[in-house]
Chain A
Amino acid sequence: MMEVRFSGFGGQGIVRCALITGKAISLYDNKFATMTQSFGPEARGGACSSQLVVSESRVLYPYVTVPGVLVALSQEAYNLYEPELGNGGILIVEQDLVKQKPDTGRVQVFPVPATRFAEELGNRLFANLVVIGFFAAVTKCVTPDAVKKALPELVPGRFLKANIQAFDKGYSYGNEIMAAKSGASVMADAMSEGVE
């Protein structure tokens, strides 16, 4: 079982990240995914977060407890959620927006210039798809095929192609990073004990 938290500030497409990934996993990757998010005025602006619990069998407890993966796209989100990331967990940060604490080796850090990549593709709004691509490559939690199948109803039709490009960009960048890490599985430490 894998617990994932996507976090950032309002407008970065944080909820959409979890929706796309959750839909891809549960509809097209033949696994179970439960997605939750914070609601209400307290959840608008400031640090925004959405959560995904992924499992080979039915998810029971719907919320994340000790996330194995944290995606932090803003400084505030990083400050708030990094401490709860499990030991050995995967931390994906937007490297241009998050200034990290000195690395103690507690967690595995994967920086990605998602916003810059998205801007190169024409619009910073695609940054969340770059992140999903990068996330897919690093965690192997979701397959690229499944994400591409999940996209059509979740992004505006006229931006579908651009979103797929953004995903591919993040995915190939993620693969480069992983190849540099000589293929060692980063997942083992990030998995939590699931209920089968």
Chain B
Amino acid sequence: MVRKVKADPKGVLEGPHFMDGDHALAEGALAAGCRFFAGYPITPSTETAERFAERCPEAGGLFIQMEDEIASITALIGGAWGGQKVMTVTSGPGFSLMMENIGLACMTETPMVIANVQRGGPSTGLPTLTAQQEMMQVRWGSHGDYRVIALVPDSPQECFDLAIEAFNLSETYRTPVFIMTDETVGHMHEKVVIPPASEIEVVERNWYTGPKDQYKPYKFGAENHMPGPMVKVGDGYRFHVTGLVHDERGYPQATVEAGKINITHIIEKIDSNADKIIRFEADQLEGAEVVVVSYGITSRIAIKAVMDARKQGIKTGNFRMITAWPFPEKQIREIASKVKAIVVPEINYGQMVREVERVAGGRCKVISVNSTGGAVHDPSEILAAIKEGRS
């Protein structure tokens, strides 16, 4: 059951601000009701942690700087079952360290928000420069089969807005939700308008209120595979949580059959609700010869190229993914069936483009405008790909 309430005014810093994306993430989290933040410093994400640390006393929350990113993500699992809405933020190397326990969070259906302010990799890479190189890691990085929800903001304002959205999705689907931002968005300052608390809708945790002896921490096979309600420690339910394959009671069951039920659930609760989760912006797709598909900061560069192409008489559509995962398959498939080419610029060596190719299935050309990271594209590179796609 999804229950929406108005935001707690204590966490809402109402008004217009000139703010960077990292700070806006922290403000969005506080507005969404996040009151527990565990993190470890890493460029270019640290400003979010600093902001939360500064703001949480008056909001009635707690910040803890953990000993590393593994501890941070694991503390979130404890924090969530302790009853709080929880968040951490990191960048590439820290994100890699978090992978195992992201799996634990998925498996135990623990709501939380993890922001990755992407920087150039691999390894220590380019700590102060932008990238979009973890778009596949966020989807596949932890071992085993699972699904995630990943949102990609293109501005500080959207960092704020999507932080709230991320918390709402994580409570609705009882799953970790990722905000895949990047160094450019994280560090650039723009106007961010924070609405009054009365205009912010937040999804409450789906608290169980039935008889104590009938509570089960998990619910498999519900309509649309929606997850069951939660309780917190200390309420007398004496429940069990494990990363092993488990039944609805949360008890380990080392059988093929139990695995099938458990894993199908964590996959299907996202897949069967993909239409409700997916967010995108589309512009002038009708009659387009070429469509540019992009996400995050790259979308802003792409629009520039799209406008230049239109000026030159090329019918160019623009499609911005706000949700990278689940991937907007239907929308991309439809575009692929109508255009000559899809152009996919990203600040990596070609990641989401593989998904576009898979879904396009040869119906149109798919052109990757890739990069080794560190900088946003020059719009002319994207324009050249648009021209190539049209010919």
Contacts and interface: CB of A to CB of B under 8 A. Distances in A.
A38 B184 CA distance: 10
Max chain A CB contacts within 10 Å: which of B18, B183, B304? B18
A81 interface: no
A12 interface: no
Given A26-B190, A35-B190, A62-B188, A40 B127 contact: yes
A24 to B, nearest CB: 9
B128 A26 contact: no
A60 B189 contact: no
Contacts of A36: 184, 187-189
A38 B379 CA distance: 21
A179 B321 CA distance: 51
A33, A59, A60 interface centre (most CB from chain B within 10 Å): A60
Contact of A61 (B16, B128, B189, B300): B300
B189 A35 contact: yes
A22 interface: yes
A42 interface: yes
A62 B191 contact: no
Given A23-B18, A26-B18, A60-B304, A42 B189 contact: no
Interface in A48-68: 59-63
B376 A26 contact: no
A11 to B, nearest CB: 20
Contact of B18 (A27, A39, A42, A60): A27
A40 B190 contact: no
B303 interface: yes
Given A19-B18, A23-B18, A43-B128, A34 B189 contact: yes
Interface in A8-23: 18-19, 22-23
B332 interface: no
B190 A39 contact: no
Given A27-B18, A43-B128, A195-B307, A59 B190 contact: yes
Interface residues of A, number: 24
B18 A34 contact: no
B128 A39 contact: yes
A170 B378 CA distance: 37
Nearest to A43: B128
Given A22-B18, A40-B127, A60 B300 contact: yes
A195 B310 CA distance: 12
Contact of B184 (A18, A27, A42, A62): A62
Give the interface SS of chain A, mostly helix, strand, loop or mixed.
mixed
A37 B127 CA distance: 14
B297 interface: yes
B43 interface: yes
Max chain A Cβ within 10 angstroms of own Cβ: one of B189, B191, B303: B189
Contacts of A38: 128
B186 to A, nearest CB: 10
Nearest to A63: B376
B39 interface: no
B373 interface: no
Nearest to B300: A60
A27 B16 contact: yes
B44 A39 contact: yes
B293 to A, nearest CB: 17
Interface of B: 16-18, 43-44, 127-128, 183-184, 187-191, 297, 300-301, 303-304, 307, 376, 379
27 contacts: A18-B189, A19-B18, A22-B189, A23-B189, A26-B18, A26-B191, A27-B17, A27-B18, A32-B190, A34-B189, A34-B190, A35-B190, A36-B187, A38-B128, A39-B43, A39-B44, A40-B127, A42-B128, A43-B128, A59-B190, A60-B301, A61-B301, A61-B376, A61-B379, A63-B376, A150-B18, A195-B303
Across the A-B interface, give the 9 residue pairs with the lowest CB-CB distance, nearest first: A23-B18, A40-B128, A35-B189, A26-B191, A39-B128, A60-B300, A36-B188, A60-B304, A27-B16
Given A33-B190, A43-B128, 18 more contacts: A23-B18, A26-B191, A27-B191, A34-B188, A34-B190, A35-B188, A37-B187, A38-B128, A39-B128, A40-B43, A40-B128, A60-B301, A61-B301, A61-B304, A62-B188, A150-B18, A195-B303, A195-B307
